[in-house]
Structure 1
């Protein structure tokens, strides 16, 4: 028979009419005064009675059963994913590898830039003669303190005015006058002017090239700026009496 402790309600098994002591709170229990539980409550499973109720003998007190040891959760070893998994499925990003790749690309870019500079410096004369590359080569040489050859574009010289007339007071001498302008994008050296004389049949009777030293009194090694115009005047000996036409060409 089981009786309940009047103080804490703990169930204690009573055998006979001897006074019991509650193993939970230590209060005395008189089986005669305690109200016994109904038969349904005393018919609990054996496992519940052994776990929650301490058996009190007639001569002594039974100790409370020791609690069962708690189950220790054992973590299963996590399966290591292969290095061939997609980048979004990897647990740890290879930071060291990314840094190595970044340094490698930086070294490659530096070597490529150095090679480009060497090519530009070695071929600057050829590249400077191309209108597409000349601005880049000019900027590079300004930074690296190198020089590029002068721009030469004879076709960019435009003839503004020209005339060939006998010089007054001097027999057999022709006075040549010509005005031209530099329409190139860059400054050019003063051009060489080619004068060709023809007769009435269109046959060439005389030709001469005039260099800057022939028509410039000073600054013969200078350059003519873009959009700048100039006028030259020369005296030449008439090669024949039949001169009726003339042409100017820039070289």
Structure 2
């Protein structure tokens, strides 16, 4: 940058650091005049010949510095007492110029208490919805839960305490045939009376099964077959509804038509 002494018109080349100590004032090396170098400060010299450098007015408003390259981070505020919040309803009703010394204030801990209550209400609603969803899933998978070796006994004890009854789960493979017998029907001609003793080895109650009886000859050829539904051999509706309790044993009686002397064997199956 360049500047010019106003007395002797000598032009000097300056470094910006020379303008800092005296706020832009410098001393002419030739005539010893002290002058404000900012008045004729120029980035480059005009084409020769020239006598004076253009002068700048120094009494204008300061220009705006708008291209920021660095901004320091503000210091963290020191911890202090929580601010007091003016009740908005009271502040809105108060006219201008009125004494605000009687205004009520809402402390920060009261606002935190309201937020805590809203959070508690939201968590409670979510918990109820989650329990409802789990209950729906448990009802959809009730057969699996009741038949489970761990969950089944727990549900049974809970139902005993609550006075409810678990749904019956069909598990025909857990039914054991303890004894069976066949004889001529005492009152019906050309009929057989077949009896069977069956035990429920499952750890849970199950409905009465569909029983299939197959009569065969000495060579194993099937001569007759019949399927008995629970209502065919259990006449009492209440007993059918209760089903076979865990570990319970029941006697089943079936009436079938006698296929003749060739029927020497019979077999049971449960569905």
TM-score (norm 1): 0.48
TM-score (norm 2): 0.45
